[in-house]
Structure 1
């Protein structure tokens, strides 16, 4: 009986040492600490002294794409706004939106002055061109009008991917 218990104890200890896995034991060697080779014909470039952080960049919705007055984000590109009359503005650009429908609202910071939708020449995943004239009058002369382009979510009706553009004064 003592031999049987000793045998069980030995088997239990051996199984505990192997972790219960049935894999071959390979000797572990520490990884070599070598640096990657660089071509000797190219000089090393020093790291930038101050790396850019995401906080230093303006948000994509407010960042002009290539020049002043051209706006873009993930679903809008090449969007420009030009004042064509006292209370009229021409909006042009491209959008990649569901069924080619761009929604918009013009607000003065406190009130929504006008809302509507624009039909593009193509629906997503294609980029569709659009041109639209917005007629809106300021309620208060000391306010700045903001045009907000967005895609209306078919899931819950919320605004998706807003592009906020200040309307030009002149």
Structure 2
């Protein structure tokens, strides 16, 4: 009988403690919600435009980019620059949107036989969203000629190259 009384006392104590904790949590959460302020300006989205962050703004702010700014694309990449067959000197700035696993995209700069430069960058957001990316390829030592920039994703399943996008460029002096 004494054990039953002890167990009942512990159970009642736990229930009371739980009720007190829940009421404190509810009070705090209502205060938190009251402290959140809505922004003074709402950003309007135009259904015909993509939304991407600007370099000069914080990553949480956005700037309109028209679909017509895309010069080449596939299911994983929308590139704003460089344009296909663009003549370039010294460096190439590659800028666009990517919808890739964990935001990681790979690139290679090659002449068709040799890889001159390669690497990876992380977009501002991973798939299924579109994340902003930008990187620079240094081409100072590349002789004049036709080259290509390859953008691709490595498969999370087996590491194979998927969603490859080729951007032809011409290096000139």
TM-score (norm 2): 0.53
Q: Is the 8 A contact 1:108 1:145 kept in 2?
A: yes
The structure having more radius of gyration, on CA atoms, is 1
Equivalence map 1:31-46=2 (5 Å): none
Q: Is the 8 A contact 2:147 2:168 kept in 1?
A: yes
Equivalent pairs counted in the alignment come to 104
2:106 to 103, 107, 113: 103
Equivalence map 1:7-86=2 (5 Å): 66=68, 70-81=71-82, 86=89
Higher share of residues assigned strand: 2
Q: Distance in 1 between matches of 2:158 and 2:89?
A: 36
Please list every run of 5 or more consecutive structure 1 residues that lacks an aligned counterpart in the other structure.
Answer: 1-64
Higher share of residues assigned helix: 2
Q: Is the 8 A contact 1:76 1:94 kept in 2?
A: yes
Compute the RMSD of aligned alpha carbons: 2.6
TM-score (norm 1): 0.54
Tell me the alpha carbon deviations over residues 84-133 of structure 1, each in whole angstroms, 9 at most, x when there is no partner: 97320111100000000110001101111111001100000000011111
* 1:136, distance to aligned residue in structure 2 (A): 2.4
Q: Distance in 2 between matches of 1:81 and 1:105?
A: 14
Q: Is the 8 A contact 1:81 1:168 kept in 2?
A: no
* 1:74, distance to aligned residue in structure 2 (A): 0.5
